[in-house]
Structure formats: C-alpha cells, structure tokens
Amino acid sequence: MKKMDVIVSPSHIKGIIQAPASKSYTQRWLIGALLAEGTSEILTPGKSADEKNLAKAIESLGAKVTYEEEKWIVTGGFNARSKNIHVGESGLGVRLISAVSALADQPIEIEGTGSLNKRPMAQIKEILPALGADCKTNDGYLPLIVKGPLTGGKATVEGSFGSQFISGLLFALPMAENDSEIVVKNLKSQPYIDITLDVLNHFGITVENENYQKFRIPGKQKYQPGTFTVEGDWSNGAILLAAGAINGTLKVENLNPHSAQGDSKILEALDKCGANVRYQENGYKIEATPNLKAFDLDATHTPDLFPPLAALASYCSGVSRIKGVKRLIHKESNRAEALIREFGNVGVPVFVEDDDYLVIKGKQPTGGTFYSHNDHRIAMTGALMALKATKPVRITHAEAVNKSYPDFFEDLEKLQAVVEYPKS
C-alpha cells in the first residue's frame, strides 16, 4: 500500500454525510452466504480492504462472489477449493475463517499481513481439538494450518481476549455432525456476539444463548440463502459524530438507533459531555457546543470507541477517564501507547491509570505531526484532533484508513474540512 500523508487544518465541518456500511455486519453476512447453498444478495455492503479480503477468502472455500455497485451476489456452498487462504489484515476475518475452514477434511493454511501477524492466535489452537479439528500455529501466531472436520462437542473459551473466535465457532458449529456446547468465561465485546446471533437468525440458524455464558448449538443445521441489507457502521459513525461535537454542524445518516452494534454507546459519551445531538429521520444531527465537559465511560465492551472518545475528551474541560485499556493491546497497534504518544505530540496529556483507565486532560491540541501507527482508527483520530487545533495536523501513514473507511478523508472534504495531500 502506497504511503500517504494527509494534512488536516482547523475546520468547521458542516453538511449531511452517510455513515459507511458496517464492516462487522458485512463480514458476517459474507460468512453466512458462503455456508448457505444457493444465491444470497448482500445489499449496500462495505468496500473496505477487510471486507474485500474476506470476500476473496470465501471464494477459496467454495463461494462465487459477483460484485455490483450496491450489492454483492454470493452463490454459496462450502467446498474448500484451496489449501491456502489469505485474509489480509482483518482480525475478525482470520477468526471467522479459521473456524469455518475447520469444516474441511483437508489442511488449510491461513495467512495474513501487517499487524495481524503480530496478534496472538494460540486460542484457536487450544480450542479446535476439543471440537474435532486440529490447528497448528507459528509459535502462537500466523500462519495457521487448520484441519477438520469439526465434529462438534463441548469446549470452554476464555472470552477476555475478545469475542471474534467465539463468533467463528457460532458460524461453523451448526454445520457439525453433532450438537455442541460452548462455555464462555469473562466475555468481553458482548455486543459483537449480538451481531453474530442476529445474522445467524436471518440465515435460519438456531443457537441457544444462556446469558452469554453458555451457547448450545444443534448440529446438522442448514443455512438458508436470502437477501440481506448491511446497516450503517456505528464504529465509523462515532468518528463522524465526534467530529461534529468538536467543531461542526452536521447530520450523520444511515445509523440505526436500535442497532446491536455496541459502538452506538458513543451517544452516551456525547450526552455526558453536553454535546448537542438529537435523532432525526435516518440519522443524528449534531452541533458543536463551546463548553463540553469531561466524562467517564466504560468502553470495555467497545474498544474501537477509544480513539474517538479520547479525541472528544481532549476538547472537554476537565479530566476524562475511559475504562477498558486492557482491550487495546492487540489491535492494529497497541492503541493505548499510540494514543499517549500521538496526543502528546499535539499537546494533549494522556496517560494510563490503575492499569485499565485511559485518562485525558482536556486541552486544545497545538497541531503537529500525528503518526497513524498503521492503524486506521488512529489515523482518523488524527483528523479529529486537527478540527479545532491551533495549527494543522499532519497525519503520517494516513493510508491506514483503507482498512475500514477508505473514503474518510474525501468525506471530510465533502463536509468542507480543509484537507491537503502533500507529496512525500
């Protein structure tokens, strides 16, 4: 990917913008469509690198994907065609694909790129044997070699590492020969399990959920193809809403107020800090207010909210505290370290307290250089820091936004932000 720097100058943004399609939903619809024999349509899908890479990955497992402007047509039916699958840099993608690939009776190697190769995968190796499959890792990291078939059974999963592999099992195990029971301890990111269960229900799959601590999954189920619409993405919608609260007058459309997506919790933070936000038809209107106040929020189950929450907190008077820092270590970057360093570079004090709180002392950013750490959410946060800074912010390796929101800087320009693309 070609290196790109972007300079964002202080700007009052205004207008109407569509939140991009949910990456979390799009990837799950793709997996379900792979497992459903017949033709499914996925309407208004996302177009980020993660989604495109997963679409290619399911073709290796038997799907045929046809791309049209506002929909993907997927002819499904699990039939592993390749012994090697590449998932790009998608953490969700690798965990969904590793579980589903274990349905095959042949070894399949799963590879990734970039920071994904530094993210631990040992849990997959530990869990699959209890369910009839095998997994080898590279000392706990990618590449993985998975060999099934999954037969079902009982397994205990530590949920404090996140919910993504649990979601993978919930997709794969309905097709196992036998019934399964997954016991989950210390589940984090519960809202993402809600998204998985919602998608499974639309494909006609039955899962018995016992308070998110135990899941019973009947085997020999069949996925039913259909037409599915991808709702707007609250993770990236949160970035846009935070931008409006900092220095804007805008409406963010395509956000479902009843969504299972946990990142809709941004509304709680906006309310606590005194932002002027209200729901209107198909979206939220938000206007900047001059005296935002500090807030406390538990983001343990919504770790992707940390970057925009931290940016919002920098423009609030007082000291804000966000709980859940332990969830930030194994993302595209160590986001706690990245936020501390880059906020410091633009004059905002940030530190970790009691091992699990990110503390932000509200102070107007000075401008300067903001390194993305090759992390899409850190790159977008650099732009938020610029909107009401004293000087422009130069975001280095800004191309990282392609992972989830490739049109981010173009959308900022549509909202009348001053955005420049200097030559390296």
Residues involved in catalysis? 304
Beta strands in 60-205, from DSSP E residues, in sequence order: 64-68, 71-76, 84-86, 108-111, 134-138, 141-147, 153-158, 180-185
SS3 301: coil
SS3 77: coil
**Spatial distance between the Cα atoms of 322 and 307, rounded to a whole number of angstroms:** 10
Which element (helix H / strand E) includes 215?
A: strand 214-217
**Structure tokens belonging to residue 338:** 């990245």
**Structure tokens belonging to residue 19:** 């939140």
Supply the DSSP symbol for 225: P
- Dihedral through CA 98, CA 99, CA 104, CA 110, nearest 10? 0
> How many CA within 13 A on the CB side of residue 238?
26
13-18/368-371 β-pairing: unpaired
SS3 414: helix
Is 104 in contact with 149 (CB distance < 8 Å)? yes
Strand order in the sheet with 276-280: 13-18, 248-253, 283-287, 276-280
134-138/141-147 β-pairing: antiparallel
Strand order in the sheet with 296-298: 296-298, 319-323, 357-361, 350-353
Nearest to 305 by CA among 241, 364, 367, 366: 241
Beta strands in 299-392, from DSSP E residues, in sequence order: 319-323, 350-353, 357-361, 368-371
**Spatial distance between the Cα atoms of 101 and 380, rounded to a whole number of angstroms:** 33
**Structure tokens belonging to residue 387:** 């909107």
How far does the chain reach from its first CA to its final CA, in angstroms? Answer: 14
Residue 380 burial (CB count, 10 A): 28
Nearest to 46 by CA among 18, 88, 13: 18
**Structure tokens belonging to residue 372:** 């993305």
